[in-house]
Amino acid sequence: MLSILGSVYAKIANLRNKLYEKGSLRSYPLGVRTISVGNITTGGTGKTPLVAYIASTLAERGEKVCILTRGYGRRNPKERVLVSDGKNILTDPQQTGDEPLELARRLRDKAVVVAEADRVAAAKWAKEKFGITAFVLDDGFQHRRAKRDVDIVCIDAANPFGNEKVLPAGILREPVENLRRADVIVLTRADLADDLKSLRQQIAALTTAPIFECRTRLDRIISLQDFQKGNAATEHSTSKKMFAFCGLGNPADFFRTVGEHFDLVGSKPFRDHHVYSQADIETIEGEAVAASAEALVITGKDAVKLSAAEFKLPCFVVCIGIELDDETAFLEML
């Protein structure tokens, strides 16, 4: 039954793409250089650190950058929310969703962040209000109404296409053959791939787009208190026994990264975009104490949702960055 539904979903996705290609459905230019970063699968692919890297790079080169995002999981998905005006964070995770707020914190003083389902309308508004010279579409591969100059697709090298079936039978948002419309492929978590050479060959058979390899790295670790105060430059060193928890699409990668740098004695995953209650925190701390942990460690995506939480154990936030195999060529493409 799931396979039948997946086949129907794939046909609908392909029909929609054909309507855009024929011009029956229209793509609207946003008026300035526009770079889309998206996925062809559901779940975490390490997209957010790449979005932050691209926006930061453009800002450092003098562009007035705006990130346009849908803001998954927010209270009112039809509402336009100005997450950050490029200097100040103006909202909370309930209004905007966790990932837009995380991007706003990462890119303080570097990018305007706007959450709205209609990214064409959001772009027009942001361009007039802030003088934007470059847009970055967060999760934009399927959002074809907004025309883009560069279409980047992130593929998780550790689990690129699942069972290669379309939702709900698999994790593909559309048939894998549609990678042909991508301008650039970025293989995230390339260091975790079982056979990177074969994966590159499989993708090269589908598209002529250049393929970049990307690896995550731990930039620094800061206390949750410093994170919440905006003191992101503060760095801590700790030899404490750590217990990690997170609500990510791919929690295993985060736990692996923490385990490579710290004494990780336990972990607890939650569903992607999980909203934490105080009862959750008490359960986590109970499991951490049982594992002889001395501190907790989380991601920035989790930290933005924990401003009201009360902890008995010290809590640290791991800041994740990326490394590209050919950064020079990637920057030339941007």
pTM of the model as a whole: 0.92
Same domain, 188 and 299: no
Q: How many residues does the chain have?
A: 334
Q: Are 200 and 226 contained in the same domain?
A: no
Q: What percentage of residues in the chain have a pLDDT greater than 70?
A: 98
> Model confidence over 184-228: pLDDT tens digits?
999 999 988 889 999 999 999 999 999 999 998 888 899 999 888
pLDDT given at position 257 = 87
* 225/203 same-domain check: no
Band the pLDDT of 235: cuts 50, 70, 90. Answer: low
Residue 327 domain-assigned? no
The domain boundary, picked from 175, 209, 243, lies at 209
Same-domain pairing of 278 and 297: yes
Among 25-34, 60-69, 73-82, 159-168, the least confident range: 73-82
Q: Residue 329 falls within a domain, yes or no? A: no
Q: Are 258 and 279 part of one and the same domain?
A: yes
Whether 56 is covered by a domain: the verdict is yes
| pLDDT digit string, tens, across residues 78-105 | 899 999 999 999 999 889 989 999 999 9
Instruction: Looking at the structure, tell me whether residues 249 and 315 fall in a common domain.
Output: yes
My answer on whether 167 and 54 are in the same domain is: yes
Range of the domain at 275: 217-322
- Kindly tell me if the per-residue pLDDT of 234 is higher than 70: no
Question: For residue 147, what are its two tokens?
Answer: 């025309």
Cα–Cα nearest to 113, from 86, 91, 132: 86
> Could you report the per-residue pLDDT of 2-41, keeping only the tens digit for each?
888 989 999 999 999 999 999 999 999 999 999 999 999 9
Q: How many domains does the chain have?
A: 2
Count the neighbouring beta carbons within 10 Å of the beta carbon of residue 35: 23
Domain co-membership, 105 together with 233: no
The answer to the question of residue 173 being in a domain is yes
290/72: higher pLDDT: 290
Same domain, 122 and 24: yes
Q: What is the 3-state secondary structure (H, E, C) of the chain?
A: CHHHHHHHHHHHHHHHHHHHHHCCCCCECCCCEEEEEEECECCCCCHHHHHHHHHHHHHHCCCCEEEEECCCCCCCCCCCEEEEECCCECCCHHHHCHHHHHHHHHCCCCEEEEECCCHHHHHHHHHHHHCCCEEEEECCCCCCCECCCEEEEEEECCCCCCCCCECCCCCECCCHHHHHHCCEEEEECHHHCCCHHHHHHHHHCCCCCCEEEEEEEEEEEEEHHHHHHCCCCCCCCCCCEEEEEEECCCHHHHHHHHHHHCEEEEEEEECCCCCCCHHHHHHHHHHHHHCCCCEEEEEHHHHCCCCCCCCCCCEEEEEEEEEECCHHHHHHHC
Please name the residue that has the structure tokens 């690896």. 215
